[in-house]
Structure 1
Amino acid sequence: MAVVKGSQQDQLIIRQYRPWERFRRFLYTVLFIAAVGMGGYFGGVYDSMNRIQQLTTARDTLQSALQDAERTITNLTQRVGVLEKGGQVDRKATEGIRQTVKELKAQISTLEEEVAFYKGIMAPSANDKGLRISKVEIQPQDSAGKFRYSIMMTQVADNSSYITGLAAVNFVGMKGTEKVILPLRDFDSNVTDLGVKFRFRYFQEVAGDITLPAGFVPQQVQVVLQSTGGKAQRVEQTIDWPQ
């Protein structure tokens, strides 16, 4: 074919005529969409079934826990009933425990006093040295007019050697309308002198039982310690008669 120089030329494309090609492409597209849709459907069904299974398991677990809780409530209700019926026994047991605690506290208090007592002997203050009256006690007994007396004497700090002397105990009171002072030997049959001799290094207790003379009304107890030797000391203490 002749070509005229300088004129515009169109390109001619020759294609094979296939009348079923478009239909086949359409069919493939429809099948692909259908496959994707079916996959999504079955995937959703599977996920839903799995979720339902999980929820069913959780429901069964909660139902089991609920049953356990109901049984626990029933047991607790029964126990409350038993405890209410046994309240008197519980109160008796509680009272026994309280009494035991009270006794233990008393024992602890006694031990603390003893610890303080021994500390006072071994490590006294600067002004608390030499012969001392640490305790004077009068305790009533079961019989009328019967008492127990206890006098604790100590040698504080300066206890490298023994200390000796005499402890005089006098009872001040009224006999009728007259005020009198009576020695310990008038109350304790085991004492024959005007005082009780002592000899100790750290401490010594003078104790015994006394009986009040007829018509005597005690008011005070006087204790006088008189040591002997080169460092003789005199110590006095008076306490009121316990009411």
Structure 2
Amino acid sequence: MAVVKGSQQDRLIIRHYKPGQRFRRFLFTLILIAAVGVGGYFAGVYDSMSSIRQLTSERDSLQTELLQGEREITRLTQRVGVLEKGGEVDRKATEGIRQTVKELKAHVATLEEEVAFYKGIMAPSSNDKGLRISKINIQPGDAAGQYSYSIMLTQVADNSSYITGLAAVNFVGTQAGEKVILPLRDLDGDIADLGVKFRFRYFQEVKGTLSLPAQFVPEQVQVVLQSTGNKAQRVEESIEWPGTGEA
């Protein structure tokens, strides 16, 4: 082929044409992509299944521990209940014993007081003989201004015969700012006379219930005993009103 000097020349390349090669390359690439995708999918599935199995195992282990913990809580709760009941029983028993001891002590004190009282009657001191006022006791009642009273009269040593006489009981206080003396018969409806008659050999108790006037403020209780007969005696005693100012 003749070449003209000075003109541009085109290069001619000759290739072998194979119609199926291009299609095979495309198919191989497609298969490779699909294989990688399927492999990644199954790898992910396997990894997920492994994680699921591990989490399931941990869940089962935690459920077992939870069940054991619940059983332990139940056991401890029952134990606490038993201990609380036992402690309550112990407290009640202790309180019962304390109350019994308290009652026994009070009973013993009462008995000792009674023994001392009878000893004082039967074996008094040399200067303590004849008619005596052993005790004056005033206690609040159920209603306002209401009181129970008890006056113990005794005949000490000289108790070979009965002693008789009158007991005058007066209540000293203030009413409307003035000094007032009220006899027992004005306060106790069961007493009709100015004095309470007594007759006894060893002792006698004068007792009853009195009601104070609304404006009366008691301060003292005065008791005067006057016996009759050959050995007549006069005995006087006054005590402060318990809780002076109450009415």
2:106 partner SS: helix
Runs (4+) off by over 3 Å? 79-85
Unpaired segments ≥5 residues, structure 1: 1-78
2:159 partner SS: coil
2:170 partner SS: strand
Q: Are the structure 2 counterparts of residues 117 and 80 from structure 1 closer, same or farther at C-alpha, using a change threshold of 3 Å?
A: farther
Alpha-carbon distance between aligned partners in 2 of 1:169 and 1:236, rounded to the nearest angstrom: 10
Question: Which residue of the partner structure matches residue 196 of structure 1?
Answer: 196
Shift of 1:103: 1.0
Alpha-carbon distance between aligned partners in 2 of 1:80 and 1:214, rounded to the nearest angstrom: 58
Question: Which residue of the partner structure matches residue 206 of structure 2?
Answer: 206
Unpaired segments ≥5 residues, structure 2: 1-78
1:236 counterpart = 2:224: no
Aligned length: 166
CA deviation profile, 1:152-179 (whole Å, cap 9, x unmatched): 0000001111100000000000101001
Q: Are the structure 2 counterparts of residues 85 and 197 from structure 1 closer, same or farther at C-alpha, using a change threshold of 3 Å?
A: closer
Question: Which residue of the partner structure matches residue 146 of structure 2?
Answer: 146
Could you tell me the TM-score, scaled by structure 1's length? 0.65
CA deviation profile, 1:50-96 (whole Å, cap 9, x unmatched): xxxxxxxxxxxxxxxxxxxxxxxxxxxxx999545521221122112
Question: Which residue of the partner structure matches residue 174 of structure 1?
Answer: 174
Question: Which residue of the partner structure matches residue 124 of structure 1?
Answer: 124
Alpha-carbon distance between aligned partners in 2 of 1:119 and 1:80, rounded to the nearest angstrom: 57
CA deviation profile, 1:100-121 (whole Å, cap 9, x unmatched): 1111111110111000000000
Shift of 1:214: 2.1
Shift of 1:216: 0.5
Question: Which residue of the partner structure matches residue 104 of structure 1?
Answer: 104
Question: Which residue of the partner structure matches residue 92 of structure 1?
Answer: 92
1:118 partner SS: helix
1:232 partner SS: coil
User: Is the radius of gyration larger for structure 1 or structure 2?
Assistant: 2
Alpha-carbon distance between aligned partners in 2 of 1:193 and 1:166, rounded to the nearest angstrom: 10
Q: Are the structure 2 counterparts of residues 204 and 85 from structure 1 closer, same or farther at C-alpha, using a change threshold of 3 Å?
A: closer
Could you tell me the TM-score, scaled by structure 2's length? 0.64
Calculate the aligned-residue CA RMSD, in Å.
Answer: 1.8
Alpha-carbon distance between aligned partners in 1 of 2:133 and 2:210, rounded to the nearest angstrom: 20
Q: Are the structure 2 counterparts of residues 80 and 116 from structure 1 closer, same or farther at C-alpha, using a change threshold of 3 Å?
A: farther
Alpha-carbon distance between aligned partners in 2 of 1:127 and 1:235, rounded to the nearest angstrom: 14
Alpha-carbon distance between aligned partners in 1 of 2:85 and 2:213, rounded to the nearest angstrom: 57
Alpha-carbon distance between aligned partners in 2 of 1:227 and 1:193, rounded to the nearest angstrom: 16
Letter paired with 2:88: Q
Alpha-carbon distance between aligned partners in 2 of 1:141 and 1:152, rounded to the nearest angstrom: 19
